């Protein structure tokens, strides 16, 4: 991958941002701000993976919530059996990857809106399964067959925060690597016209499966880190539609099929998360209404709109000249 001046500027700014974010807990930044950044990194990883599937692959996947919930319950099984939580995080990614492969066999036979509907059923089915099944066979907490995670007393919030930064920033690098590779070009061809891509010798199933598994792994890691922070997992929370709404809103608001879009959209989503906290009963309705308004007024998202403005183009040229 050639290091162009613009790419060099982006990498420099990204590394500087990562270094700054990493030291925030060490310099006494207020806990509220640490929480904002933590949620931003978790939501960013989820938004990037949904953007990979929908924006660059043409798959309107509504089953990412399944990977998040499975990650949480994998942590429960590991921690309740006295196994290291670090091993539970890694295995949550493995479980999500295996599950993604299994459900891809029937799901990839569907196309368009039928794929979206089929994928929507998956997390709901898992929610029912975990409402009925007690994976560690012990006393449950609350009304939703939930469990508290064990072994978190030795893990500080700072370490969980650093893990969130790792998965959030890591998702940006993963997207960059995919989009600059043959995989990214193949996915773009499938999105534009899968029939033409197939006739050109592209293995559609293999490329879709690769993107699907990558998104499952990163989503599971983000989910595992979130439940480490939360300390509790229940079917109604782990397999909640709010996760899907968060991914879609962040991607659509920021700009689908753009690398910067999910970052911009996630900033707005985190802001809305705290603003709408007092309206928990109707927050999904408000977010859904906002999504419709954005799609009607700015269908290309904020980043797509900015790219059409002269000021944005002038800024890019200025950055390139500065790097040169």
Instruction: Note the pLDDT of residue 218.
Output: 97
Instruction: Note the pLDDT of residue 323.
Output: 46
N-to-C CA span, the chain: 18
- Number of folded domains that form the chain: 1
DSSP state string for 234-277: -HHHHT-HHHHHHHHHHHHHH-TT-SSHHHHHHHHHHHHHHHGG
Q: Residue 169 to residues 7, 110, 124, 162, 241: CA-CA distances in angstroms?
A: 16, 32, 30, 10, 24
Coil, strand or helix at 144 = coil
Q: pTM here?
A: 0.88
Please give the residue range of the domain that contains residue 196.
Answer: 5-323
Tens-level pLDDT at each residue, the chain (324 residues):
555 666 666 677 778 888 888 888 888 888 888 999 999 999 999 999 999 999 888 889 999 999 999 999 999 989 888 888 989 999 999 999 999 999 998 999 888 889 999 999 999 999 988 888 777 765 555 445 678 888 888 788 889 999 999 999 999 999 989 988 888 888 888 887 777 777 778 888 899 999 999 999 999 999 999 999 998 888 888 998 889 988 998 998 888 888 888 999 999 889 888 887 777 667 777 777 877 887 787 777 887 777 666 555 555 555 445 445
Instruction: Note the pLDDT of residue 13.
Output: 77
List the CATH number of the domain containing 317.
1.10.3470
Instruction: Note the pLDDT of residue 145.
Output: 66
């Amino acid at each position: 991958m050639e290091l162009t001046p613009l790419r060099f500027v982006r990498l420099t700014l990204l590394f500087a941002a990562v270094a700054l974010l990493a030291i925030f807990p060490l310099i006494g930044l207020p806990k509220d701000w640490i929480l904002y950044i933590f949620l931003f990194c978790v939501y960013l990883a989820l938004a990037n993976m949904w953007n990979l599937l929908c924006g660059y692959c043409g798959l309107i996947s509504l089953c990412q919530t399944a990977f998040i919930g499975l990650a949480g319950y994998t942590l429960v099984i590991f921690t309740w059996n006295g196994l290291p939580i670090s091993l539970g995080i890694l295995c949550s990614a493995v479980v999500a990857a295996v599950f993604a492969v299994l459900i891809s066999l029937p799901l990839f036979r569907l196309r368009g809106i039928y794929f979206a509907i089929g994928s929507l059923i998956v997390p709901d089915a898992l929610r029912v399964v975990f409402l009925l099944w007690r994976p560690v066979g012990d006393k449950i907490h609350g009304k939703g067959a939930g469990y508290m995670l064990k072994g978190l007393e030795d893990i500080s919030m700072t370490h969980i925060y650093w893990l969130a930064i790792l998965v959030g920033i890591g998702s940006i690098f993963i997207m960059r690597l995919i989009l600059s590779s043959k995989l990214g070009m193949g996915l773009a061809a499938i999105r534009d016209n899968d029939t033409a891509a197939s006739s050109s010798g592209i293995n559609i199933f293999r490329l879709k499966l690769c993107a699907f598994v990558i998104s499952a792994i990163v989503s599971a890691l983000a989910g595992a880190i979130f439940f480490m922070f939360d300390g509790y997992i229940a079917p109604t929370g782990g397999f909640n539609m709010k996760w899907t709404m968060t991914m879609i809103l962040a991607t659509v608001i920021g700009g689908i099929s753009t690398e910067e879009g999910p970052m911009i959209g996630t900033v707005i989503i985190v802001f809305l998360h705290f603003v709408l906290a007092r309206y928990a009963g109707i927050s999904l309705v408000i977010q859904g209404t906002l999504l419709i308004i954005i799609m009607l007024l700015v269908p290309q998202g904020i980043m797509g709109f900015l790219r059409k403005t002269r000021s944005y183009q002038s800024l890019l040229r200025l950055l390139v000249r500065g790097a040169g």
